[in-house]
Structure 1
């Protein structure tokens, strides 16, 4: 408080102002309280970098994979043909995505990026890709994907729905570093899904 209450004020309670302490005001939701601290003053506020890291993470928008797949949903693929799997590359769908948070002179910077995508293909098999995948182009023809692909060995008519339900689950790894030297890591997952139709081509002799 400035000025300090006079000696003998009820605010001092049983404390002696001549010992060098002081009365501080504390305001919380419009309610003011009076607190006595000795000569050393109020205790230092301890900043937890992990809390700031979470605040930085909360500022990011980390989306599930923006699925790209051949055959395209709504179209038809063929048993045995290469299936290409990929996601859009961007800060929100693959990273890197960066944000910071500060308090009490401490700043934490967090960087998030996808470290893998697990594709469950709906036929009981899964594909784990550590790249965003390669978008399919017509000139690739029947060549398999160089980094993230699959082949169906049975038509989707063998499933209850007549389609393969494909899910893509991305694992976001968020590394953070504080200006005080501390570091840490969070893991987040996001998932999206599509349905594809795969048919079997009958060869006539």
Structure 2
């Protein structure tokens, strides 16, 4: 739902800790045996791009009219500071969805 950075703070006993989390990479398992690693949120598609491939994070299915099980594994880096200390944590999250890829052909 988000790429970050997301920042939040919590206080207890007079100590406030602030944490900032952001995605360092997402590995997409595309369901067709291929995977794509993205280190940016990607570039939103605009019609002016036509059929050009994504400049930074994309995938093109070669077998249309099929369902694919797609899994995204995101690696979050969390920097925290509070009480005179700092640190960094890493969190890995998985999410998946089934998608149908179709092909449209136009006869003129």
Category of TM-score, reference length = shorter chain: 0.7 to 0.9
Q: How do 1:98-117 and structure 2 match up within 5 A?
A: 98-117=7-26
Residues of 2 paired with 1:177 and 1:196: CA distance?
44
When normalised by structure 2's length, the TM-score is 0.81
Q: Show structure 2 runs of 5+ residues with no match.
A: none
Residues of 2 paired with 1:96 and 1:198: CA distance?
35
What is the root-mean-square deviation of aligned Cα atoms in Å? 2.1
| Between structures 1 and 2, the one with greater helix share | 1
Higher Cα Rg, which structure? 1
Q: How do 1:1-205 and structure 2 match up within 5 A?
A: 66=1, 93-153=2-62, 155-156=63-64, 162-180=66-84, 182-190=85-93, 191-199=95-103
| Between structures 1 and 2, the one with greater strand share | 2
Aligned residues: 104
Deviation at 1:199, TM superposition (A): 4.3
Measured against aligned partners, the alpha-carbon deviations of 1:67-116 in whole angstroms (never above 9, x if no partner) come to xxxxxxxxxxxxxxxxxxxxxxxxxx111111112223322110011111
Extract structure 1 runs of 4+ deviating beyond 3 A.
198-201
Residues of 2 paired with 1:187 and 1:196: CA distance?
32
Task: Give the 3-state SS of the residue equivalent to 2:52 in structure 1.
Answer: coil
When normalised by structure 1's length, the TM-score is 0.46
Residues of 2 paired with 1:114 and 1:196: CA distance?
27
